Amino acid sequence: MIMNMNQIHSVYFLGIGGIGMSALARYFVYLGKHVGGYDKTASPLTLELEEAGMAIHYEDDLAQIDAKFLDKETCLVVYTPAVPQDHSELNYFFDHKFEIKKRSEVLGLVTNETFCLAVAGTHGKTTTSSILAHILKEAQLPMTAFLGGISEDFGSNFYFQGSEFSVVEADEFDRSFLRLSPDIACITSMDADHLDIYGTGEELHKSFRAFAARLKVGGKLFVRNGLPIEGITYGIEDDSDYCAKNIEIIKGVYVFELQTPTVLYKGIRFKKPGRHNLLNAIVALGMALEANAKPEKLFSALESFKGVQRRFSYRIKNDDFVFIDDYAHHPTEINAVFEAITEMHPNKKVLAVFQPHLFSRTRDFAEDFAESLSKFANVLLLDIYPAREKPMEGITSEWLLQKINSQNKKLVQKSELITEIQKQAPEVLIVMGAGDIGLEVVKIQKAIANEN
């Protein structure tokens, strides 16, 4: 069991720059604790944390750890599985018997005493939890949110408005979500992913079933219609318990009716493109309604939802040019992006830029990636972003490129990317990937702005 919170004076994070870790770090700062940590590289996120007063360094060096984090009686150490087992700081804390917890353990302990709303699924977690947090905030529920992306409504991946309710992403990576005990949960999708952890899609499905069994007594589980788990179903124009009907697109905005088990609500508006995002909105509304939030406040809040950074984010949106940035790193997500672009920007010249994420994911889903990317007539492929992995023989972007059947496809280096985009002169540019491609987006936007 974790130390008594009053006994904790400082919290040290190994991997503090991770999106989930940084949300917890902000939480402990909010509680008035000394917070600091290590990360492998500086990033815009770590710089924000430093500006918030956190002591962060970027070398595995015990000498750089502030003395306030070296008292094992008052310091909690939180680490992510991405930190290698031979990390000297991690081993120091283990050897000296500090209170050490994985991020998922701490999140479970922090949220267990709240009315917890947890969002699970291989896709859609961040957008769904961000919609849910936003509409609960606007409905004035006393809520704390831990998000897996930067909400454009909060300007952060953490939000505090009280501690009676919590909104969390239930992450299937490393089976982290099995540390949570939600009151209301949802499963948005169960596509095979993280096969480096699970081995097979069936093992992944077993883990989702184990997560469903973690609900508190009397808890409610929402499940996208068609998934092989029982629960309250949600969907679009089908027989779901919570269902969007009579959908129209008016000036780029979805206008629809929501049929619930008891009431039909009309005239609901939602601005984020793509049927996948509409599904995310439906389940967020369903979870909030089951938490007894007032419907009229939820619906007005949904219309004002701005989105999440790198989730179909419009960086430029003019009549003659559109630039969209998206975190898509799985074939299903690329398909969803293609469908959203086709629906919202039909008959335009589209250029897709994709940075594959992980050698293992590229290997495991190569045929599916090729099929998804082949839907785009014009494709620029970057080298694979390795993240935590070492290179695998034969698994390269050149190998993947050969499988893609686009009219115009090319492997490019990041240094050539802006020149190649300008040469191709697309009407719609979509940049996708979960690696460091996000850092290129600002450069691309500046270059295009300077052209005009």
Binding site for ATP, residues?
121-127
Binding residue positions: 121-127
The answer to whether 271 and 113 have CB atoms below 8 angstroms apart is no
- Distance set, CA 434 to CA 11, 166, 354 (Å): 28, 26, 9
Which residues have CB under 8 Å from 91's CB, separation 6+? none
Say which residues have a Cβ less than 8 Å from residue 418's Cβ, sequence separation at least 6.
443, 444, 447
CB atoms within 10 A of CB 300: 14
Contact 306, 135 (CB under 8 A): no
In sequence order, which residues have a C-beta less than 8 Å from that of residue 203 and are 6 or more positions away?
none
Tokens 């124009």 — which residue?
A: 237
Q: How far is the C-alpha of 165 from the C-alpha of 316, rounded, in Å? A: 36
Residue/partner pairs of 54-58 with CB below 8 Å, 24 or more apart: 54/16, 54/25, 54/29, 56/16, 56/17
Are the C-beta atoms of residues 45 and 55 closer than 8 Å to each other? no
Helix, strand, coil: what percent of the chain each, to 5? 35, 25, 35
Question: What does the block give as tokens for 15?
Answer: 């991997």
